[in-house]
């Protein structure tokens, strides 16, 4: 069983599909998540998350997960969770972001559950 590939596909789909929302319908995104001062920043983050999500999803589909991609997934999810929790508890963003924070923690847990199952050896031969 290629656990890492499955986790990469789940993570990639979550980020890729979720990040499309503000690009497809900003009004409903703002209605649920609250007002935004910098819409260009929302769009920029959405596009970045789509790119990372797509890379994770494709790598998972092709069963080509390297340690670097695993740590990109873990690190990215950790940053998103920390931002969600910090800004909800400081009163800057709506509580709905707690749902995303929990989802990001679940993704981190899934990456650790996968361990090294399906992780390719990324060591490259050294030049002599």
pLDDT in tens, 112-122: 999 988 898 75
pLDDT at position 1 over 80: no
- Mean pLDDT, residues 25-41 taken together: 97
pLDDT of residue 123: 53
pLDDT in tens, 47-73: 999 999 999 999 999 999 999 999 999
pLDDT at position 126 over 70: no
pLDDT of residue 18: 97
pLDDT of residue 118: 84
Contact 97, 32 (CB under 8 A): no
67 closest CA partner among 13, 105, 125, 123: 123
**Please, which pLDDT band fits residue 41 given cuts at 50, 70 and 90?**
very high
Structure tokens at 26: 């900003």
Sequence length of the chain is: 128
SS3 of 19-48: HHHHHHCHHHHHHHHCCCCCHHHHHHHHHH
What global pTM score does this model have? 0.91
CA distance 63 to 8: 9
Contact 61, 2 (CB under 8 A): no
């Amino acid at each position: 069983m290629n656990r890492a590939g499955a986790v990469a596909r789940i993570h990639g789909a979550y980020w890729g599909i979720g990040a499309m929302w503000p690009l497809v319908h900003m009004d409903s995104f703002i209605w649920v998540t609250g007002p935004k001062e910098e819409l260009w920043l929302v769009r920029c983050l959405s596009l970045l998350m789509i790119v990372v999500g797509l890379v994770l999803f494709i790598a998972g589909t092709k069963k080509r997960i390297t340690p670097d991609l695993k740590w990109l997934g873990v690190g990215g999810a950790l940053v998103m969770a920390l931002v969600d929790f910090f800004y909800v508890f400081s009163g800057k963003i709506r509580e709905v972001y707690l749902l995303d924070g929990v989802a990001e923690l679940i993704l981190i847990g899934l990456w650790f559950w996968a361990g090294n199952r399906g992780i390719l050896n990324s060591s490259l031969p050294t030049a002599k």
